[in-house]
Every structure is written in structure tokens, then in C-alpha cells.
Amino acid sequence: MGRLFATYDLETPTTLERAAEVIAGEQSSGTFLKLPGETDRLKELSGARVERVTATSSSRVPSLPCRISAETYTRGEVVLSWPLENMGTSLPNVLATVAGNLFELADVSALRLTDISFPEEFAVAYPGPAYGRQGTLALAGVRDRPMIGTIIKPSVGLSPAETASLVAKLADGGIDFIKDDELQANGPHCPFEDRLNEVMKVINSHADRTGRKVMYAFNITDELDVMRRNADLLQQAGGTCAMVSLFSLGLTGLSAIRRHIDLPLHCHRNGWGIYSRSPDIGISFPVWQKFWRLAGADHLHVNGIANKFTEADTTVIENARSLDDPLSGERGYQAMPVFSSGQTAVQMEETCRAVGHTDFIYCAGGGIMGHPGGVAGGVASLKQAAEAAVGGIPAHVFAKDHKELSEALDLFGKKDGTGARK
Amino acid sequence: MGRLFATYDLETPTTLERAAEVIAGEQSSGTFLKLPGETDRLKELSGARVERVTATSSSRVPSLPCRISAETYTRGEVVLSWPLENMGTSLPNVLATVAGNLFELADVSALRLTDISFPEEFAVAYPGPAYGRQGTLALAGVRDRPMIGTIIKPSVGLSPAETASLVAKLADGGIDFIKDDELQANGPHCPFEDRLNEVMKVINSHADRTGRKVMYAFNITDELDVMRRNADLLQQAGGTCAMVSLFSLGLTGLSAIRRHIDLPLHCHRNGWGIYSRSPDIGISFPVWQKFWRLAGADHLHVNGIANKFTEADTTVIENARSLDDPLSGERGYQAMPVFSSGQTAVQMEETCRAVGHTDFIYCAGGGIMGHPGGVAGGVASLKQAAEAAVGGIPAHVFAKDHKELSEALDLFGKKDGTGARK
């Protein structure tokens, strides 16, 4: 059987070598006293191994409060590996191994899990995304350009009928993709089943008229029994996408719904800042996305260029590109990046260039609703921006004879096509 | 319907009032542009409310990297509330609301979710722990004292037969409770079913001989289908406790297994440091434990006094005591605190005094295995320490005519009964 590899960005009041050994011990066969059963043979078979230790910097003060004080706190990259025999091909148990009782250790004053590598056995155990990029594009009838999407706003408070009437406007405006806000769940204001029925009436009738079915990601996030029932209703109503909040479901919830539903899973990472905001604690996106792709995520939110949050553009793009990282085995398990958060026509050019392909979903809220030409104008501006990007024409040049794009660049950014924050 | 309240420890480059309004807006009906559908009536019905803002301190530098720079970063406590109509009585959707897209906001330079209050509707929707404190004690046949427990060590690498032979020794030594390490899952080294059968043979035969059944928490953490099958096997074999890793399961996984199994759920919070280690980002234990108790956690790990991690003793005790915090409705939903991590007879007295009751599980690893009197000596030392504490007799006095306690205090700490770190 293969081995599992994990990479950490670690700071320690002792030495990197010692801290790496402590983690390897804690997370496999060790404890704070030498035990009778911990033979050399057992350690050889079951122990985690320190594969590599590379110092990167040092500091006089610890990055996080730490019980052990020292003159110098050393930072570096540490790679550990585990025999798969310990935890088997079970993602929930892999998580407990690589991201378990490590972050509290007195031997570390900062710890981030930055990469993971799954041996090929996981490709047998986990199906990966059912639709991924190509399946989603085919289902939505979109070719050779990004899917243009939006989020129902206000996020909460609209009735099912009000939601459906907004969907009708968006469908008529030419949108490819619509999603519930992650706050819109199954509350009494707007119950799931009523919203589903009202919205699908509009979408199905629009599809009958035009031959194009708008993909709507209904938020099914809930307890598993409810989620399964709502997923069934969704499929019966002709829906083509289900949305889930990843951290609310957990890995077992994500796997369970992947095995139940035959539709793309639109995966929202709300709560993400807990893992990403501090440079000194957490789990990086390139790690989480591998867990999620194995478990079956089709679409993964990655924020957006010039977003309204704090994530840097370089991180956003690295994260989107990490969805191409090889997973275990030969199958690609490619998931679709979803750009969202303060997106308008302004960032389309840079997004296409930076991602390196156009198989992504580009969600704009205010960037569509706030367009002077209304919904249709907003959608048109985004499609024009995409067309310019795909054709290699600078947005401000293309805008010269494309009114909606021109209006969007005027309102949301600068005519030279560089992104400007709201 | 009631409202949901959440309390945050927040630092901001703007003002506390402004940051609180941004979060309230983002997490209910707002967005970055005023939208046509966002009427005053909709805001009144669906908007989150800022209930209270209290400044506590300020700083010249931001605690976390922040896109907005300012002369002063103000810190304080912010209380928000939401109408239950938005998300209904669904814990996964509550999590997306109170701990969703907040932590990345440019308007905060530190954010911790420190408290939550569920309206009484949740007591109808969620069953809470099936056994809790009293049910666990009754099932284990323990009265008026803490349960003495241990963890199988080495954590991984022992075969099912080797595990069972260690269990036999522990059972003969008088132990009340044994748990798998959270790293011991269902890998080829020690498959769940084999371990279950070998261990339960020993436990059942010991129970037949002595009338006392040792409670063994088998780690069933896995994908849901596997977890359910193993839970069934566990009940069929006469097992009396199942262990799960909370962050691996997620809220939906925890609820789903609670509804499937009729045994106490021993809940391990490995990965805890991600939420707790930084003073500037995360979710406090008093919040998580309410989610977990509603979803059905019977036992919750809280670390231990003088533990080998970095959590301060005051935090450990506050967290253990938070399991008494009132939840929604009248039912208590009391869960049992589990003390673990470098525990020996030394910390028993202080633990009993600080917790204020003795309905807890006290797990010692090296504190039992490393005792000069072997397993039986280690268990005896812990029971003697508990007896002293329950009787209000200082441990060092009680130790005068209790050899095993005396040996433990000598080896692991100081005779005056104060804890000493290993």
C-alpha cells in the first residue's frame, strides 16, 4: 500500500527536527512516555516518518501564544508521511491524522497544513466529481467560454414567488447559472420545496421556449435525511444542480450526498476565513480542495480577483489553479472553480488569463443587478467581457463597439481593463 | 419564532458599529450595492440586528493581515441576532449563518465567535445526547465518582489480538473506560470488525465473571455507510460506546449517527487547535459544544489540567463547565466532560474541585501504563485520588496510607498535590 504525505508550514520554540518528530510521534505510535508495546518493529510498520525539514526564517517572538519560551523561534517547511495501513482509504480518518491534535502542541508556535498527497488507492475508494468541468458545461449547454452566473439577492427575505420572478428576469436576460445564497436554506420565510417548485416552473418553461435550461444551484444544506429528500425532489422537478455548504456538512456529509444524488454539487466554502485568514494557523485551500474533489465536489468557490474580502489576487488564482493538481490515480477529478465576491465585467479578462482555461463559473451579484442596462445589460456585459478575453482582445478595445461592456467598465472599473476595487 | 443570538470578539480598522453592521448585512439581506428588492419591510423581517457593541481595547497594528489600514484598530464585543425564519432549526444552516463568510471580511482584523444562544425551537428539532452524564454512569455501573479511563497505546500498530490482550490487562486492573486513539480507525493493520470482536470477547467474558462491563469507545469515524454498519456490529457485539471525530464527521454526520445508534457517543475534537490556538480567529468551545450537544454528543473532550498542549488550565475548566450552559428549551442536554492529555493522579483533586461535580471521564495514558505498580497500580492510584477528592481529603494526606496514590504523586508530581507538568 502507498503512503500519505503532508506538508506543513511550522514555527517552533525548539528545533524543526524535534518539532517534526513530536508531530510524527503524536500522530502515529508515540506518546509522552516510552511504552512497553512501542517496539522498534511497530514503529517501523506504523510510525509516521519525517521526510524533509527545511528552515525558512526565524523570529525573536512566537507567532502564536506558546507555553514553551525560547530565544529564537524557527520557521520552516516540514514533510511527513504515514503508512496507509494505519487509517485506510477513509477521508474522515485521514483528516484526523494529518490535521488532528497537532495545532495545540506546545512544540509549535505556528502551524499550517499546506499540502497533501494521496496515494492511488484513494482513486479506487472515492468516485470524485460526477460531472466536473465538462459534465457541467454540457449540462448547462455552454461551450468554449465561462459560465455567467449570479446569486439571488437579497440573500434572504424573498418569498418563493419573488425568487421565481427574479429568476424569470435573469433567465430572460440570458444568464447561464443562478445560485441560492448560502444563507438561503429551508426556513419558514422561503421553504425549500416551495422555492424549488416556483423556480423550476420558470426555468422549465424558459427551457421549453428557448431550448436552454438555466442551471440553478438550490441550497440543499441540511441534516442528511432532509438533504436526501430535498435532493430527490430537486431531481424530480428537473433541477440540474445542488448546492452545499462544505463546513456545515463535513466530509461524511459531502460523501453521503455525492453517493445519493446524480447532479453536479456546487460547493460553498463559507467559514473559509477560519482556515485561511491567519498566516500562522489553518489549512490551505490546495489541501482542502483535494479532500473535496475526492469526496465528489463538482464546483468549488475560490473567491475572485479584486474581491471584497481580504484574500490576495495571487492566492485566489493559485487556489483556482490548484483544482488542476493531480490527485491519486490516473483520473483527473477536475472540479470547476467558481469566482464570486464583488465580481463585475472588469475582472473577467484578468481571470481568464490567470486561470489558463475558461471552464469556470463567474458569479456577479451587484455586477449584474447594478448595471445601468438592468439584468440583461449586466449579463450582456459579462458575456462580452468573456468573448473579448477568449478572443484575446483587450476589454477596453472590445468595449468600443459593445455598449454593455463599455457601461460596465465605466461604472465598475477603469476603461484600461485593470480591476478596481469597489 | 425566536431569534438566534451570537457574540463575537472583533477587531476592526473602521469602527465597531460599522463592522457590526457590515457583518449583519453580509449575513442576512445585504450586499455591496443597494438592491431594488431590499425593501425596508424585507430588512425588518429578515435582517440581522446589531444588539450590542462594547469596546474593550485598541491597538496601533492589526492582529491579522488586513486590506484596510487605519491609525487605530478597535477591539470589542459585538452581539448580533437573526430571525429564525431565515434559516429554520437546522444546525448546518445556523453554522453557515453565524460562522459563514465573516472571517475574511476586510472590515475585521480579528474575529472570534465566542458565544451562541439557540431559541427553544431547537429543543424540539434536536434530540440532544441519548445518554449524557447519568445514562453513561448507569451504563458503566459507576456511581458518585469520576469514571477512570485510558486510551489504547501505542495509538496505532497493535493488532486486534494485541489490543484485546491489553484490554484484558486493563479490565483486570479495574478500569472503567477504555478508548481507541482517534488515529486508530479501520485500516488494514487493525480492521474495525476484527478489533471489535477480539475486544468484546474479552470485555464480555470479564463482565460475565465480575458483573462489571468495561465501557470501550470504539472509533467508528468513517464515511456514513461504513459508520452505520460498524455501529450496528458494535451494538450486536454488546459494545456500550462509540467514538467519533467531530470535525471529520461535520454536523450532518454527527446528527446522522446520533439518529442511527442507541449508545453513548464519545466525541473527540481532534483538530481543535485550528479553532482555539489563535486569540484572533476561530470559534470558542462554549459555541461548538452547544452545536454538538444539540446534535447528540454524550461525551466531549476538553483536554486536562496541566495538559501537554497549550490550552491554559482556566480555559480547560471553563470549557468543561460550559457543558452545563443552558441550551434551548427546558431539557438539560448535559454532556460529560472528558479529561485527557498527560493526566495522572496528580491533577484529579484540582479537576474535581474546579469542575464542581464528579460526572466526568478522566483518561490517563502514561499515568496508568507508566505507574510503578503497572496497570492495576495506575488505576488504583486514580481511584484513590478520586476517593480523596470526593471525600474532601487532600491527595497528599490520603496518600499516606494509599500506596498506589503515593507512588503516583512521587513519580508524576509533587506530594503537596499541586500539578506538575511532565
| pLDDT reading at B308 higher than 90 | no
Contact B359, B139 (CB under 8 A): no
DSSP B133-183: HHHHHHHHT--SSPEEEEE-SSSS---HHHHHHHHHHHHHTT-SEEE--TT
Q: How far apart are CA A292 and CA A251, in angstroms?
A: 8
Nearest Cα of chain B lies from the Cα of A237 at a distance, in angstroms, of 23
Across the beta sheet with A281-283, the strand order is A49-59, A73-83, A3-12, A110-117, A281-283
**Number of other residues whose CB lies within 10 A of the CB of residue A36:** 11
pLDDT at A420: 40
Q: Do A157 and B366 touch (CB under 8 A)?
A: no
Find the mean pLDDT for residues A16-25. Answer: 96
Residue B56 backbone phi and psi in degrees, to 5: -120, -35
Contact B140, B240 (CB under 8 A): yes
Residue A31 pLDDT level (bands cut at 50, 70, 90): low
CB pairs under 8 A between A and B: 381
Nearest to B26 by CA among B79, B97, B109: B97
Residue B201 pLDDT level (bands cut at 50, 70, 90): very high
Q: Do A223 and B91 touch (CB under 8 A)?
A: yes
Residues of chain A found within 8 Å of residue B255, distances taken between Cβ atoms: 223-224
Q: Do B100 and A183 touch (CB under 8 A)?
A: yes
Contact A299, A336 (CB under 8 A): yes
Q: How far apart are CA A248 and CA A375, in angstroms?
A: 32
**Number of other residues whose CB lies within 10 A of the CB of residue A59:** 13
Contact A163, A170 (CB under 8 A): no
DSSP A276-302: HS-TTEEE-HHHHHHHHHHHT-SEEE-
For chain B, how far is it from start to end, CA to CA, in angstroms?
Answer: 51
Which range has the worst mean pLDDT, A401-410, B116-125, B379-388? Answer: B116-125
Q: How far apart are CA B204 and CA B88, in angstroms?
A: 44
Q: How far apart are CA B182 and CA B113, in angstroms?
A: 26
Q: How far apart are CA A161 and CA A313, in angstroms?
A: 38
Find the mean pLDDT for residues B162-191. Answer: 96
pLDDT at A328: 72
Q: Do B155 and A99 touch (CB under 8 A)?
A: no
Burial (0-12, 13-18, 19+ Cβ within 10 Å), B391: exposed
Nearest Cα of chain B lies from the Cα of A391 at a distance, in angstroms, of 31
Residues of chain A found within 8 Å of residue B256, distances taken between Cβ atoms: 223-225, 252-253, 256
Nearest to B271 among A100, A189, A223 (CB): A100
Residues of chain B found within 8 Å of residue A188, distances taken between Cβ atoms: 1, 84-85, 88
pLDDT at B422: 35
pLDDT at B416: 43
Nearest to B383 by CA among B364, B369, B370: B364
Residue B411 pLDDT level (bands cut at 50, 70, 90): very high
Tens of pLDDT along A151-198? 998 899 999 999 999 999 999 999 999 999 999 999 998 999 999 999
pLDDT at B366: 86
Q: What is the DSSP letter of B347?
A: G
Cis peptide bond N-terminal to A154, omega within 30: yes
Contact B126, B291 (CB under 8 A): no
Q: Do B278 and A276 touch (CB under 8 A)?
A: no
**Is the C-alpha dihedral spanning A354, A358, A361, A365 positive or negative?**
positive
Percentage, residues of chain A above pLDDT 90: 86
| pLDDT reading at A35 higher than 70 | no
Nearest to A92 among B111, B222, B370 (CB): B222
Average pLDDT, chain A: 93
Residues of chain A found within 8 Å of residue B294, distances taken between Cβ atoms: none
Rg (CA), chain A: 24
Nearest Cα of chain A lies from the Cα of B289 at a distance, in angstroms, of 15
Cis peptide bond N-terminal to B92, omega within 30: no
Nearest Cα of chain A lies from the Cα of B373 at a distance, in angstroms, of 14
Nearest to B360 by CA among B331, B381, B390, B384: B390
Element (H, E) at B11: strand B3-12
Residue A331 pLDDT level (bands cut at 50, 70, 90): low
Question: Which residue in B has a C-alpha nearest to residue A112's C-alpha?
Answer: B274
Pairing of strands B73-83, B49-59: antiparallel
Residues of chain B found within 8 Å of residue A47, distances taken between Cβ atoms: 157
pLDDT at B36: 64
Q: How far apart are CA A180 and CA A168, in angstroms?
A: 14
**Number of other residues whose CB lies within 10 A of the CB of residue A245:** 29
Q: Do B277 and A273 touch (CB under 8 A)?
A: no
Q: Higher-confidence residue: A215 or A342? A: A215
pLDDT at B310: 84
Residues of chain B found within 8 Å of residue A342, distances taken between Cβ atoms: 32
Nearest to B324 by CA among B272, B377, B360: B360
Residue A330 pLDDT level (bands cut at 50, 70, 90): low
Burial (0-12, 13-18, 19+ Cβ within 10 Å), A77: middle
Q: How far apart are CA A108 and CA A102, in angstroms?
A: 8
| Structural domain boundaries in chain A | 3-125, 132-412
Q: What is the DSSP letter of A237?
A: T
Residues of chain A found within 8 Å of residue B266, distances taken between Cβ atoms: none
pLDDT at A421: 39
Q: What is the largest CA-CA distance in chain B?
A: 79
pLDDT at B1: 82
Task: Indicate the SS3 state at residue B196.
Answer: helix
Number of Cα atoms under 13 Å in the Cβ half of residue B172:
9
Q: Higher-confidence residue: A417 or B112? A: B112
Burial (0-12, 13-18, 19+ Cβ within 10 Å), B159: middle
Contact A5, A117 (CB under 8 A): yes
Contact A299, A362 (CB under 8 A): no
Nearest to B115 by CA among B77, B152, B144: B77
Find the mean pLDDT for residues B29-36. Answer: 62
Q: Do A64 and B101 touch (CB under 8 A)?
A: no
As given in the structure block, the three cell numbers for residue B111 are: 474575529
Q: How far apart are CA B214 and CA B211, in angstroms?
A: 10
Q: How far apart are CA A23 and CA A47, in angstroms?
A: 11
**Is the C-alpha dihedral spanning A303, A306, A312, A313 positive or negative?**
positive
Residue B341 pLDDT level (bands cut at 50, 70, 90): confident
CATH (residue range A3-125):
3.30.70.150
As given in the structure block, the three cell numbers for residue A160 are: 418563493
pTM reported for the whole predicted model: 0.96
Tens of pLDDT along A255-275? 999 999 999 999 999 999 999
| pLDDT reading at A37 higher than 90 | no
Percentage, residues of chain A above pLDDT 70: 95
Where do we find the cell 460553498?
A: A268
Find the mean pLDDT for residues A298-319. Answer: 93
Q: How far apart are CA B285 and CA B291, in angstroms?
A: 10
pLDDT at A288: 98
Q: Do B42 and A105 touch (CB under 8 A)?
A: no
| pLDDT reading at A240 higher than 90 | yes
Tens of pLDDT along A142-164? 999 999 999 998 899 999 999 99
Average pLDDT, chain B: 93
Tens of pLDDT along B101-149? 999 999 999 999 999 999 999 999 999 999 999 999 999 999 999 999 9
Q: b/e map of A90-117 (b: 16 or more CB within 10 Å)?
A: bbbbbbbbbbbbbbbbbbbbbbbbbbbb
Name which of A249, A310, A313 to mutate to probe chain B: the one with the most chain B Cβ atoms within 10 A of its Cβ: A310
Find the mean pLDDT for residues B301-320. Answer: 92
CATH (residue range A132-412):
3.20.20.110
Tens of pLDDT along B278-288? 999 999 999 99
Question: Which residue in B has a C-alpha nearest to residue A104's C-alpha?
Answer: B273
pLDDT at A341: 85
As given in the structure block, the three cell numbers for residue A132 are: 466536473
Listed in sequence order, the DSSP H helices in B211-245 are 224-236
DSSP B272-336: THHHHS-TTEEE-HHHHHHHHHHHT-SEEE---TT-SBS--HHHHHHHHHHTTS--SSS-----E
**Number of other residues whose CB lies within 10 A of the CB of residue A50:** 18
As given in the structure block, the three cell numbers for residue B59 are: 491597538
* Interacting residues of B373 by C-beta distance below 8 A, sequence separation 6+: B380, B381, B403, B404, B407
Residues of chain A found within 8 Å of residue B275, distances taken between Cβ atoms: 274
Q: b/e map of B175-214 (b: 16 or more CB within 10 Å)?
A: bbbbbbbbbbbbbebbebeebbebbbebbeebbeeeeebb
